[in-house]
Structure formats: C-alpha cells, structure tokens
Amino acid sequence: MVEEDCTKYRPKCTLVCSLTLDGDIQLEELRELFERNVLEATLQSSSSLKFNPAQIRYPELTQYQVDFMGYRFWKEDPNFRIENHVFEMVLQDSNLVAIHQEAINKLYYRNRSPWEIILIRFNDGNEILPKTLIIARFHHSMADARSMIKLLVECLGGQPLTVANPQQKEENFVKELLYYTTFPIQFLSSIGKLILNSAANLDHKWRADVFSNEKETQKFSHVIGLSPKLLLDDIKKIAKKHNGTTSSVIMAIVSGAVGKFMDEKFMKKSIAGYILPKPDHPPTLTTHACVGAVLLPTDEKSASKRLLKCNTEFNSLKKSKLDRYNDFVGWQSGAIPNLLRNTMVRNAYFPIGITNIAGEANGLSIAGRNCSEFIFSAGTLRGCQGVLLCVSSYMEFLRISVIAKNTIFDDIQVQKLANAIGDELTILKQIVSAV
C-alpha cells in the first residue's frame, strides 16, 4: 500500500469513517479539541507497554512520508498547520454514499501527512441544519481501522473504547512445541490449498485486471453502495439459533448476496480475504490485523445450509493460528526485492475482501454532541481485489459498505449488491421465525 502515489493517482488504500453528530459544532471548537486531545496526546506506560509517558501518541500526524532506498519513512513536517488537515465544508446534499465515495477517491497532498478531518455542515438553502457530519480519512499506510477508531473514541471523544478484544488462547508447553515442530508442514499445506483455491478463481468475474500496463492499473476509482441498517439483535438471534457467531451470519448474508450476482455458469465457491484483528492492539497508529482466505459458499442455494457452511468456515479460520502465519509471511516479505514485492501485491489473489469493524458499543459523543451513526469504508487496494465489503457496527445497528473498482461495478450495480445483503438477512430471519 505504501508503493502507490496517492498524490498523483486516486488513492487505492484510503480508510474513511463518518460520524453523524446531533447538533451543530463550530470549526474552531473542533480544531481546538483535536489539537488538545489528539495532537498533544501522550502514551501511558504500563507493565506490558514500555513507553515513555512523555512520548507523543500520534507523531505521524505532523509528519510526512519520504522514500529512501526503496522504502518509505516518516519525516517531521516543518510547515504543519492544523488548518490544512481539519477544515469545513457546507453541503446541501446529505447523501452519505456520495460523501464516502468522494472521500475515498480524493487525492492527498504531497509533503503532507495523508489524513484529514472534514467537518461537514448541511444547509437546506435557508439555514444550517442542526446536524453535523465528521469525516475522518486516513491513508492505510498510516493506520488500520482499529487505530482510527481508537483515535476518534479514546482521544477525540475522551472515553474508553468498549469493544471486544480478540483473545489469544494460551497453549501448554507440549502443544506449543508440537505446533512449532509441525509448522513447516502446516504452512506448506495451507499455502498449497490457497494456491489451488486461488487458481480456481482466476476467472472470477470480480477479479480486476492487473496484468495490463502499470499506469493504467493506477487510474481506476471506487464506487460505493451502502446496505440498509441491520439490527445487531437480529443477527445475534440467528447466530444463537444455529450455534454460530455474528461473524458467520455476516459471512452467510454476504455469500447469499454475492451468489445472486454470479452467472449460473459461474456458480462455484468464491475465495475471499477475511481480515481479523489481532489481540492487544497497540495504542498507536499501526496495522495490527491478519488476513485469512475463506471460501464463501456462493454456490449454495439454501440459506440455512449456507449459514452452516459459513459457521464451519469461520470456525476453521479462527482456529488456524492465522496471526502467526501472517507474521511469518510478513517477516519473509521484508527480504523480497521491492520490485518483486510490488508485483506480488498487484497480483493479490482475492477477488473479494471482507473486513468486520466493531465500533463503539455504548455510543460516543464529541464535544458534547452525541454520535447517532458511525459508518466505515475503505479502498480495495491495488491488487486484483474487485469488491470489498466493510462491516461496521455501532450501538444496536450494523451497516455494510460495498466498495468496488469502477471497472467491476457502476454506481447502480454496487448499490444493488448492498441492498441484496439486507434482503439476505430478511430471508434468514424468516427461516428462524418459522422454526
């Protein structure tokens, strides 16, 4: 993601969070709050994290990226001004899809840190409406989604983040020894399955063409669709009824929606990259997640059978010690020459991506204004991934953003897929009610 020039071509790796606040907020008030709570925030030392208490928590916000010897580093920006990063827009149209789409495709400025906080106020033609939208956009080379949420909730909002922390199961010495002894065999076996499943999806209709000219692959933009609001309580009831998890239910409704967009002659399982958070996310801007391959049962016509298959698939993913495999691959990729690594990134093997982001469960307020809605979206990266589904929950609701390269879908098609996800949840609710 760091190889792209997001100041010249539309960014492929932007992360966007939107927070809808009840009430109006002035720009100067937001800037002062951001400067005090975020830019001046320091790290707290603890027994597990040996930080200097005076260390700035987010130094990258006042730095910019420079290339050296084929790698990218951070350099202090002597011309940093908060006005360049936290600014205001007044709009008449409050279409969230259009706002997210503009934020995800917008270029960044050269020699500036690649982030922006945009205060959007709405004018109906006569007066400013009592509703404010905050758009936070960060390039993925700075941080992952959990880092963004921590910044917005813990620093800007000034409250603890109350989301489940993934647990790392402790194994006894014998099991750990057995694992490390058999790791090479397990790793090669996993890679073999991945290659076979990837080869079977080389002709997937959502696999973007990345074998053409490098400059041409940089020119695509993103289109976005947004699912209706989905009740978390409905998803939890379905999961409980089928001895599954909320993640497997989400995977099932996504699989059902995706399957309906496949041609009959193409009906087969679809390989997807599923992003999972690692335990103990650091309190800094970082990427602390792992990616695993799952086979979405898009060829399964029965919604209930599809859910059972997703339960099995997701449980297998959780038990696979995925974070260790990802760490190993990450360590090895650092030794690969930059040109070869760049080629590998461009030709990534997942036509579909899924990321599941838990927002603040108990609600959030910023400068005394309650946040009524939180939505997350992200770019599809530079590889062959044609469609990314970003799941974000906030309080009792869940929304799914569907982001696609414009070479795969247009605005109408991507919104149809987003609507189909809502339809699939309705089908599962009817099945549960009928039992």
The confidence score (pLDDT) of residue 20 equals 93
- CATH superfamily ID and name for 173-434: Nonribosomal peptide synthetase, condensation domain (3.30.559.30)
Strand partners, 135: 18, 118
The confidence score (pLDDT) of residue 209 equals 62
The confidence score (pLDDT) of residue 332 equals 45
Nearest Cα neighbor of 122 from 158, 90, 163 is: 90
The confidence score (pLDDT) of residue 94 equals 81
Equal fold, 14-156 vs 173-434: yes
All residue ranges of the chain with pLDDT < 50 are 1-2, 45-49, 167, 213, 328-336
The confidence score (pLDDT) of residue 30 equals 95
* CATH number for the domain whose boundaries are 14-156: 3.30.559.10
Segments making up each domain of the chain, as ranges: 14-156, 173-434
The confidence score (pLDDT) of residue 15 equals 95
The confidence score (pLDDT) of residue 125 equals 63
What is the per-residue burial (b if ≥16 Cβ within 10 Å, else e) of 364-400?
A: bebbebebebbbbbbbbbbbbbbbbbbbbbbbebbbb
pTM of the predicted protein model:
0.86
3-state secondary structure of 384: coil
